[in-house]
Structure 1
Amino acid sequence: MSATKPTNLTREFTDAGAEFATITLTNPPLNLFDRAMMDALVADIAALTAQTPRAVLIRAEGKVVSGGVDVNVFDGLTVEQGAQLWRDLFGRIIHPLEALACPVVFAAHGLTLTAAFEMSLACDIILATPKAKFGLVETVVGLTPSMGGPQRLAERAGSGRAREFVMTGDLYDAATMADWGVVNAIHDDLDSAACALVTRLADGPTMAHAATKQIIEAWRSGGVAHADSVTPEVSGQLFGTADLRGAVRSFLEVGPGKATYRGE
């Protein structure tokens, strides 16, 4: 384990003054999800929840994004302790990450295994380099992925693909993941592409992006009918925002695409 914190949370501003944040995994060579990494991510996500920026980027330093979970975390756990581990990781990492009221982008430049891949699936958009590889390889220790990976992979790629991915424990390249609808885009210069996208999203109508997330979450939990039932109220609230009022005025006065947003 690194003597320093295994993640780094930074906050920056776009040229237009929109705040965005970056969480970087900084515990090479493998960026393993040990207790220290998990605790650091819990703290980082809690900080973003308390003071939410207008976009978030999650990335990693080193040759790989992550070699997965440090297996020492599992050693000797009882049935109840194992169940509590997953409750904690859902409740303190996955669900709060999904609930952030802003776009969240995950950038994968290399090998992305188990917990790191499951965390990426809780993000809104996944970018990758052509050399990135992804895997849920928990079968090597007789486990199934338990931070939401199978169900979120099934949502993006279909249940048959998710079964194959998890049961074989094979590694899949970025092109395959893009073909399956898991990876949104592949870039040779990932850092530049990720930065450009996060900047664009941060400069956008943040409250509208948050509403989009709420509507899609309603669909995920209850299907189209449930999403339809919440959309009028969720979307209706946007008419009380300065961003919508200003953008409508801008559209009417000078045409589309010229509005600026403050996240208000």
Structure 2
Amino acid sequence: MTTPAPAAPVRVERDGDVAVVVLDRPPLNLFDESVFARFERAVAELVALTAAGRPDRARAVLLEARGRVVSAGVQVEAFRDIAEGPDPVGEGTALWARLIRLAQTLEDLPVPTVFAAHGLTLTAAFELALACDLIVAAEQASFGLVEIVVGLTPSMGGPQRLAERAGPTRAKELVFGGERYPAARLEQWGVVNRVLPDEGFAEAAREYARRLAAGPTVAHAATKQLVSTAVRDGVRAADAVLPQVSGPLFASEDLRGAVASFLADGPGRATHRGR
């Protein structure tokens, strides 16, 4: 009898119109070179799966993890090897340049992205969560950027994306202190979007992603572009690009179908196709 090959530590699955990225490296879902490389492959796959015009297009993305925790962080040996290597500055700079590209590529996907945190979510996993549009968390979930324990600052985009969500002083507090914060606290600060009951959390997160995937995909992409422009460049900059971003929505099947449905059947009854 042939023993089945172990599942990849990071893989992409499909749940209807939702592409689900699964982190599954028991027991603690620690990040090392193999996990980072797998995430790069998974995000490259998402770029292809979410491309406009694809007949089997994924219209939302969900990141989730298996096991008791989402992730207990990064294997520290990776940092030791760089620090003790022949060119620590060069290797460290190359690592962060590579990983910030990963976060940015995830952030720039043209569909809604959701991170589902059911338990402890530290360092790299938390930074990937912050690169998603929305974070949903179970009541028992907790989060931390604890890189100070190894003399680092989070460098996959965590501090700056925390500043976007919660403001600069909260971002500094999370990073300087290296503490773990419960989901309810981070919901109060605007970092976590929704806290859901522990019981049935995984399915509730999936259902939330399915609802987003059933929406007007082209309009969601426009929303992402306008919000990102406003945050990075200011409201007037978003105003300036709005006609070019939102004008083409009138040519989308989603808009035409929704308008026809609204006039015939009333609001909220349209079925969107993501085109």
The TM-score with structure 2 as length reference comes to 0.91
User: 2-side partners of 1:103 and 1:241: how far apart?
Assistant: 18
| Structure 1 residue aligned with 2:85 | none
Alignment pair present for 1:233 and 2:244: yes
Question: Given the alignment, which residue of 59, 63, 66 partners 1:61?
Answer: 66
- Paired-residue identity, %: 53
Secondary structure of 2:95's counterpart equals helix
Query: 1:4 offset after TM fit, Å?
Result: 4.4
Contact 1:117 1:135 in 2 (8 A): yes
Matches within 5 A, 1:15-164: 19-52=17-50, 53-77=58-82, 78-91=88-101, 93-164=102-173
**SS of the residue 1:170 aligns to:** coil
RMSD: 1.2
Once residues 3 and 89 of structure 1 are traced to their aligned partners in structure 2, the CA distance between those partners, rounded to angstroms, is 26
Secondary structure at the aligned position of 2:68 is classed as coil
Secondary structure of the corresponding residue to residue 75 of structure 1: helix
For 1:216 and 1:95, locate their aligned partners in 2 and report how far apart those are by CA, in whole Å.
Answer: 15
Amino acid across the alignment from 1:263: G
Aligned partner letter, 2:230 = W
Task: Tell me the TM-score normalised to structure 1 length.
Answer: 0.95
Match of 1:171 in 2: 180
| Partner SS state of residue 111, structure 2 | coil
Structure 1: where are the runs of 5+ without partners?
14-18
Structure 2 SS opposite 1:8:
strand
Q: Structure 2: which 5+ residue stretches go unaligned?
A: 51-57, 83-87
Alpha-carbon distance in 1 for matches of 2:137, 2:39: 21
Letter in 1 for 2:9: P
| Residue from 200, 204, 220 that aligns with 1:209 | 220
Report the Cα distance in structure 1 between the residues aligned to 2:246 and 2:116, rounded to whole angstroms: 29
> In the TM superposition, what is the alpha-carbon distance from 1:257 to its structure 2 partner?
0.6
User: Which whole-Å CA distance do the structure 2 matches of 1:4 and 1:179 have between them?
Assistant: 37
Question: In the aligned structure 2, how far is the partner of 1:169 from the partner of 1:103?
Answer: 29
Give distance in 2, aligned partners of 1:86 and 1:3.
29
Superposed CA deviations along residues 74-128 of structure 1, whole A, max 9, x for unmatched, are 123211110110110111x201101111111100011000010000001011011
Residue identity in the other structure for 1:89: L
Once the two structures are TM-superposed, the CA of residue 63 in structure 1 deviates from its matched residue by 0.7
Paired with 2:168 and 2:99, the residues of 1 have a C-alpha distance of 23
State the secondary structure of the residue aligned to 2:27: coil
In the aligned structure 2, how far is the partner of 1:171 from the partner of 1:153? 14
The total of aligned residue pairs comes to 257
3-state SS of the aligned residue for 1:74? helix
